Amino acid sequence: MKNNEIQQRLRQEAKTLLEQGQVEYIVGYETGSLKFTTTPLLTKNKDDTDRLIVNPFIVNNLSVYLTEIKGKVGIVAKGCDSRSVVSLIQDNKIAREDIVIMGIPCPGLIDLKKVELLLSKDRDELGNITRDEDRVVITIDGKGRDFPITEVLFDNCLECQIPTPQEYDILLGEPTTPISGNVSKRTNIKELEATPREERWNFWKEEFSRCIRCYACRNVCPACFCQRCFVEESEPQWILPTPKWQDNLIFQVIRNIHVAGRCTDCGECERVCPMNIPLRSLTRKMYEIVDELFQYKAGMDKNALPLLTAYEPTEAEDFIR
């Protein structure tokens, strides 16, 4: 199904949900105020459903709003987002019966930062970006340039193995298959692992020297649902609110441990970082560690215990004396 067919159906379904009183809120995407950009739409009004859109720029993981909204919600969810919803259900943050998941089989989203790098132009200087299956055409000053779609998709989309929501009430479109045989461009886990320990440490030291502690990475993350984050504790004061690189790094390390088994690799933390810190090189690594050690992927089974509250009596413990 084409995007506009999916969009038409979504608008219809969302309107029906509100009209029939099955949900109080709809959470989806609408056209944003900047070129190409989309923005979350949170509404109770059935007329607003005509503004819902589906396109290759629907980046936000909307499940971040679920813990905040009181009442039943119909939510638009891509593969990774739907797993975040399931993860929240596992953690008892939301109840399955309060959520209507309108799943979107996701063919991958376009990373505007990659587009900008590819063409050495800012997004507002570009004409159009049109995706056609595995190609993308980008126009500048009326002239179109053609690239393989893999050049401009987000790293996490290139590596996504489960692009179709597993948990949904309504699936908008046919299930899609993962994009295969692609190497991420920015996420540099393999390169880092191949470098000596000191260099890895120094890499993160440099990266976190830039951090200004705006906490966008944490606030955009549906798995970061603590009422009060440990960085905000003052007794004991684990780390200072002052953006020293040491404390910035500790903040991010502990955040990663806290979201282990909850992080669905939606990539939002890295996307929103205004200082361009390659956060996915941390979150993706944790995703892989969790999978390797416990064969666990976040948000796959709403009935499963959360990773860090579950255990098997016999588990690898080669590191324990």
Partner 1 sequence: MSGSKIINKKDIGKLLSQWNEEFVILVPSKEGDTTKMAKWDGKDTGFIDWYRNTVQASKTNFFPPMEEMFSFQKDKEGYHIGLASSDKHKQLIFAIRPCDANALAILDVAFKDGYEDPYYLSRRKDTLLIGLGCINPYDSCFCTSLGSSPFDSTNVDIMFTDIGEEFFIEEVTEAGKELVAKTEGLREASKVDEAKASKVKEASYNKVTRKIDTRDIDKKLLACFENKDYWEKVSAKCISCGICTFLCPTCYCFDINDELVRKQGTRFRSWDSCAFPIYTEMPVENPRLEKWRRVRQKVCHKFEFFPMNFGVVACTGCGRCIRLCGVNWDITQAIESVPAII
Partner 2 sequence: MKQELGWEPKLLGFLCRWCSYAGADLAGISRKKYPANIEVIRVPCSGRVDPLFIIKALRLGFDGVLVSGCYPGDCHYQTGNYRARRRMAITKKFLEYIGIEPQRIQASWVSASEGGKFAEVVTAVTKELKEIEHNQLFADEK
Binding site residues, partner 2, CB under 8 A: 192-193, 197-205, 209, 230, 238-239, 245-246, 249-250, 253-254, 256-257, 260, 282, 285-286, 289-290, 293-294, 307-317, 319-321
Segment interacting with partner 1, rule: CB under 8 A, options 122-130, 258-266, 295-303, 311-319: 122-130
CA distance 281 to 216: 17
From residue 19 to residue 48, the character string flagging contacts with partner 1 as x (rule: CB under 8 A) and all else as - is -------------xxxx-xxxxxx------
Please report how many Cα atoms fall inside a 13 Å half-sphere around the Cα of residue 93, on the Cβ side: 22
CA distance 298 to 249: 24
**Of the candidate residues 242, 303, 309, 314, the single one contacting partner 1 (CB under 8 A):** 242
Please report how many Cα atoms fall inside a 13 Å half-sphere around the Cα of residue 68, on the Cβ side: 13
Task: Output the DSSP codes for 208-269.
Answer: HHS-----HHHHT-TT---SS-GGG--TT--S-SS--HHHHHHHHHHHHHHTTTT-----HH
State the binding partner of 243 from partner 1, partner 2, none, CB within 5 to 8 A by kind.
partner 1
Q: Which residue's CB is nearer to partner 2, number 177 or number 246? A: 246
Question: Residue 129, SS3?
Answer: strand
Q: Output the smallest distance, CB 142 to partner 1, in A.
A: 18
Q: Which residue's CB is nearer to partner 2, number 68 or number 312? A: 312
What number of chain residues touch partner 1 (CB under 8 A)? 43
Q: Give me the residues paired with residue 76 across strands.
A: 102
State the binding partner of 118 from partner 1, partner 2, none, CB within 5 to 8 A by kind.
none
Evaluated on CA atoms 205, 211, 212, 217, the torsion sign reads negative
Cβ atoms of residues 218 and 230 within 8 Å: no
The residues that touch partner 1, with contacts defined as CB under 8 A, are 32-35, 37-42, 60, 64-65, 68, 122, 124-125, 206-207, 210, 212-216, 218-220, 228, 232, 234, 240-244, 268, 271-272, 274-277
